[in-house]
Amino acid sequence: MEFFERFAIPHPSPAIYASMVAIALVSIGIVAGLTYFKKWGYLWREWLTTVDHKKIGIMYLVSALLMLFRGGADAIMMRAQLATPEAKLLDAQHYNEIFTTHGVVMIIFMAMPFIFAFMNLIVPLQIGARDVAFPRLNALSFWLFFAGAMLFNISFVIGGSPDAGWTSYFPLAGNDFSESVGTNYYMLAIQISGIGSLMTGINMCTTILKMRAPGMTLMKMPMFTWSAFIANVIIVFAFPVLTVALIMGTTDRLFATNFFTTSNGGMDMLWANFFWIWGHPEVYILILPAFGLYSEIISTFSRRNLYGYSSMVWSMVLISLLSFLVWTHHFFTMGQGALTNSIFSITTMAIAVPTGVKIFNWLFTMWKGKIRFTVPMLYSVGFIPLFTIGGVTGVMLAMSAADYQYHNTMFLVAHFHNTIIPGVVFAMLAGLTYYWPKFFGFMLNEKIGKVTFWLLTVGFVLAFFPMYLTGLDGQARRMYTYSEATGFGPLNMLSFIGAALMAIGFVTIVYNVYYSFKNSSRDIGSDPWDARSLEWATHTPVPEYNFARTPQISSSETFWDSKKNGHVLFKGEIEEIHMPNNSGVPFVMGMIFLVAGFSFIFALWIPAVIALIGIFVCMAMRSFEKDHGRHISVKEIKETEEQLGGAK
């Protein structure tokens, strides 16, 4: 029995038992459903073994949406607990677990897969490629992300969730102060999905550098591709730092090393430094692709070319460089002295300049345009003022002397949600609505979409603006309760109401998908928004080879040129197309990683070693395998093109 005790939840509550039952029922339901409808083969052939960037993108998208709801459930519980003084909904331990998982899920398992979804779906289409450079590696990246996400989520029902905050500062996250396996989950789950992210970074950089259609010079790439490229360069340079930090954290917890401990020379500040050397660039990994999406959307719905293309590019390059030079601003209060703080204060504020350039470029893109207020455009228009507020509060936080007062308070919480929600989440929802027809063949309902937008925007303002005030009034972040005498009550209640509105908003997205699936027209053509860049030049839904003939590029808006200025996109005869074969190995490897991670978390060394050997066997098999892909014949291509409504 002793063996099994480690899997028990250290701080059980009825809510957790209820979730256990729910998880079990849903799992049984899925298995039964797949069996009853005989969909196992379909699932394996079309999804689990796919190496198609579009299908992988869709899997990222679905996972991100699921995780959005998981993280959102955490958020609403936190706001409910804080809505009134001395509430008893959650105790301290549960509150700590919930804000920890909220942070990790939202950043690592919601925002990251969301941007990967769009990178996968859009980048190859925008550069006129058949797929990414390493399709099978791409599948492996997804399955590693998936394994990490699953691993992290089962912490809730097996062994206990991490409870040291998403920043997981040592020594609090060390064995002395965090005894449950929760933080092991944190270390291993993020490690596994982080390896996946790193491989996506390498894959996308190579794809964008080498696989652009003829004529597409770097300065003729669509803006989203540029943003994806820069984000992936940051990934390649930032994620290894996290990898090392997580290895050290893991060995501290599992093998009793002394990297971050309070004895034998360990140094807790080292973790904080490493975490933020990765953590700050990570913010830009998320926001730059969001900027890219906004650029595409604003330009499309203003019916104008993107203003200041080259300044957009250079500002992103500058942001990416600066992002590595500001990490200390996450702990101005660590006592590194006035000089260090001054330097990092200035570098941090400097980021406001290129960001400001981007804001003005979006404004000037709308200038003299012909603005249509579709749902994606609404998000983009809402983004500009809200993100500006988030940005300027960032400048305020960058003033290090004043930061001594903002640090660790709700003011900070308000600030970063004010950048991430209008910045990243709105962009993802805008992108979701904008690209939905391209991949699913029907439009999402505009009316419901607008209701969603207003619910989210009003909810956002109500939820987060009060926090600026409670922060200045001395409400520290991560407090699970407060007394009535503090006077935080009313503003926190307002936050709760806002959060509830946002929750309703997110539910309407699901309803919208259901409603549109049933009612929307399927006859939308390949270019329903009258868009400008290359991804709209192929059919809807996109055939597996993307373009029957490789497009010829004239500018960053080649498709628009072909519609308005008589540019000929597709020249020459259709030729045979070479495509990669599907493979089950990435999925299998992902699952072995899941087992390995789980075994490490619980210090089960025998299965851990077996799983590691399994991973190496998979790699060796890949090395010896002869797989030259397959060819799609001209006849087949012509048939597909005909079916989709004429050759392109």
Partner 1 sequence: MRKKWALFTSMMALVFILAGCEPLLVLDPKGPQAERQANDILLSIGIMSVIVIVVMVILAYILIKYRASKLPDDYEPPHIHGNKWVEIVCVGVPILIVAYLSFVSVKSNYIVESTPEGYENQEPLVVYASSSDWKWHFSYPEEGIETVNYLYIPTNRPLEFKLYSYGPITSFWIPQLGGQKYAMSDMVTTLHLAADEAGEYMGRNANFSGKGFAENTFNVTAMSQADFDEWVDEVHQTAEPITESQFEKLLEPGHLGQMTFTGTHLEFSPAPEHAHNEVSEDAEENQEHSNHENHTEVETDHSGH
Partner 2 sequence: MHIDHSKPLEYSTQQNQLNILGFWIFLGAEIMLFATLFTAYFTLEGRTGTGPTPAEIFEITPVLIETLVLLTSSFTIGLGIHAMRLGRKNAMITFFGITLLLGLCFLGVEIYEFMHYYHVGATYQTSAFTAALLTTLGTHGGHVTLGLFWGTFIILQVKKRGLTPETANKSFIFSLYWHFLDVVWIFIFSFIYLKGMM
Using CB under 8 A as the binding rule, whether residue 203 contacts partner 2 is answered as yes
Using CB under 8 A as the binding rule, whether residue 310 contacts partner 2 is answered as no
Judged by phi (left if over 0) then psi (alpha if -120 to 50, else beta), residue 89 lies in alpha
Give the one entry of partner 1, partner 2, none that residue 317 binds, where binding means its C-beta sits below a cut-off of 5 to 8 angstroms depending on kind.
Answer: none
CB of 182 to partner 2, least distance (A): 23
CB of 620 to partner 2, least distance (A): 6
Using CB under 8 A as the binding rule, whether residue 251 contacts partner 2 is answered as yes
By beta-carbon proximity to partner 1, the closer residue of 302 and 512 is: 302
* Near partner 2 in 560-579, by CB under 8 A: 578
Give the one entry of partner 2, partner 1, none that residue 335 binds, where binding means its C-beta sits below a cut-off of 5 to 8 angstroms depending on kind.
Answer: partner 1
Out of 60, 166, 224, 259, name the contact with partner 2 by CB under 8 A. Answer: 259
Amino acid (1-letter code) at residue 531? A
* Near partner 2 in 358-397, by CB under 8 A: none
Residue 366 in contact with residue 298, Cβ under 8 Å? Answer: yes
* Near partner 2 in 574-613, by CB under 8 A: 578
Give the one entry of partner 2, partner 1, none that residue 96 binds, where binding means its C-beta sits below a cut-off of 5 to 8 angstroms depending on kind.
Answer: partner 1
Tokens coding 424: 């990243």
CB atoms within 10 A of CB 605: 11
By beta-carbon proximity to partner 2, the closer residue of 279 and 354 is: 279
Give the one entry of partner 2, partner 1, none that residue 92 binds, where binding means its C-beta sits below a cut-off of 5 to 8 angstroms depending on kind.
Answer: partner 1
Residue 534 in contact with residue 559, Cβ under 8 Å? Answer: yes
Out of 134, 294, 301, 598, name the contact with partner 2 by CB under 8 A. Answer: 134
| DSSP states of 98-165 | HHHHHHHIIIIIIIHHHHHHHHHHHHHHHTT-SS-S-HHHHHHHHHHHHHHHHHHHHTTTTT----ST
**What does DSSP assign to residue 514?**
H
Give the one entry of partner 2, partner 1, none that residue 247 binds, where binding means its C-beta sits below a cut-off of 5 to 8 angstroms depending on kind.
Answer: partner 2
Using CB under 8 A as the binding rule, whether residue 175 contacts partner 2 is answered as no
Using CB under 8 A as the binding rule, whether residue 281 contacts partner 2 is answered as no
**Of 295, 138, 139, which Cα lies nearest the Cα of 225?**
295
In three-state secondary structure terms, 579 is strand
**What gap in Å lies between CA 256 and CA 263, rounded to an integer?**
11
Residue 116 in contact with residue 430, Cβ under 8 Å? Answer: no
**What gap in Å lies between CA 77 and CA 181, rounded to an integer?**
23
Tokens coding 514: 């259901």
**What gap in Å lies between CA 122 and CA 438, rounded to an integer?**
10
Binding segment for partner 2 (CB under 8 A), chosen from 46-54, 154-162, 256-264, 390-398, is 256-264
Rg of the Cα atoms in the chain: 25
CA dihedral defined by 399, 405, 409, 412, rounded to 10 degrees? -10
Using CB under 8 A as the binding rule, whether residue 335 contacts partner 2 is answered as no
**What gap in Å lies between CA 624 and CA 276, rounded to an integer?**
40
CB atoms within 10 A of CB 45: 12
By beta-carbon proximity to partner 2, the closer residue of 251 and 388 is: 251
Give the one entry of partner 1, partner 2, none that residue 302 binds, where binding means its C-beta sits below a cut-off of 5 to 8 angstroms depending on kind.
Answer: partner 1
By beta-carbon proximity to partner 1, the closer residue of 263 and 519 is: 263
Using CB under 8 A as the binding rule, whether residue 229 contacts partner 2 is answered as no
Give the one entry of partner 2, partner 1, none that residue 519 binds, where binding means its C-beta sits below a cut-off of 5 to 8 angstroms depending on kind.
Answer: none
**171: preceding bond cis by omega (within 30 degrees):** yes
By beta-carbon proximity to partner 2, the closer residue of 3 and 255 is: 255
**Of 644, 590, 581, which Cα lies nearest the Cα of 615?**
590
Give the one entry of partner 2, partner 1, none that residue 607 binds, where binding means its C-beta sits below a cut-off of 5 to 8 angstroms depending on kind.
Answer: none
Give the one entry of partner 2, partner 1, none that residue 640 binds, where binding means its C-beta sits below a cut-off of 5 to 8 angstroms depending on kind.
Answer: none
CB of 151 to partner 2, least distance (A): 22
CB of 263 to partner 1, least distance (A): 9
Out of 140, 198, 213, 577, name the contact with partner 2 by CB under 8 A. Answer: 198
Using CB under 8 A as the binding rule, whether residue 307 contacts partner 2 is answered as no
DSSP lists the bridge partners of residue 631 as 578
Give the one entry of partner 2, partner 1, none that residue 19 binds, where binding means its C-beta sits below a cut-off of 5 to 8 angstroms depending on kind.
Answer: none
What lies within 8 Å, CB to CB, of 616 at 6+ separation is none
**Alpha helices (H) along 489-604:** 489-519, 558-564, 585-601
By beta-carbon proximity to partner 1, the closer residue of 50 and 418 is: 418
Residue 271 in contact with residue 249, Cβ under 8 Å? Answer: yes
Using CB under 8 A as the binding rule, whether residue 276 contacts partner 2 is answered as no
Chain position carrying tokens 């250290």: 10
Give the one entry of partner 1, partner 2, none that residue 138 binds, where binding means its C-beta sits below a cut-off of 5 to 8 angstroms depending on kind.
Answer: none
* CA-CA-CA-CA torsion sign (256, 262, 265, 269): positive
Using CB under 8 A as the binding rule, whether residue 248 contacts partner 2 is answered as yes
Using CB under 8 A as the binding rule, whether residue 241 contacts partner 2 is answered as yes
**What gap in Å lies between CA 102 and CA 120, rounded to an integer?**
25
Judged by phi (left if over 0) then psi (alpha if -120 to 50, else beta), residue 611 lies in alpha
By beta-carbon proximity to partner 1, the closer residue of 140 and 414 is: 414
Amino acid (1-letter code) at residue 208? I
Out of 47, 69, 169, 237, name the contact with partner 2 by CB under 8 A. Answer: 237
By beta-carbon proximity to partner 1, the closer residue of 479 and 644 is: 479
How far is the CA of 584 from the CAs of 46, 147, 590, in angstroms? Answer: 11, 15, 10
**What does DSSP assign to residue 171?**
T
Residue 618 in contact with residue 624, Cβ under 8 Å? Answer: no
Residue 409 has φ and ψ, to the nearest 5°, of: -110, 175
By beta-carbon proximity to partner 1, the closer residue of 157 and 357 is: 357
Using CB under 8 A as the binding rule, whether residue 254 contacts partner 2 is answered as no
Q: Please classify residue 439 by burial: count the beta carbons closer than 10 Å to its beta carbon, then call 0-12 exposed, 13-18 middle and 19+ buried.
A: middle
By beta-carbon proximity to partner 2, the closer residue of 328 and 380 is: 328
Give the one entry of partner 1, partner 2, none that residue 334 binds, where binding means its C-beta sits below a cut-off of 5 to 8 angstroms depending on kind.
Answer: partner 1
Residues in binding contact with partner 2, number by CB under 8 A: 43
By beta-carbon proximity to partner 1, the closer residue of 84 and 302 is: 302
Give the one entry of partner 1, partner 2, none that residue 574 binds, where binding means its C-beta sits below a cut-off of 5 to 8 angstroms depending on kind.
Answer: none
Give the one entry of partner 2, partner 1, none that residue 239 binds, where binding means its C-beta sits below a cut-off of 5 to 8 angstroms depending on kind.
Answer: partner 2
Binding site for partner 2 (CB under 8 A): 133-134, 198, 201-203, 205-206, 209-211, 236-241, 243-245, 247-248, 251, 255-259, 261, 263-267, 270, 274, 277, 578, 616, 620, 623-624, 628
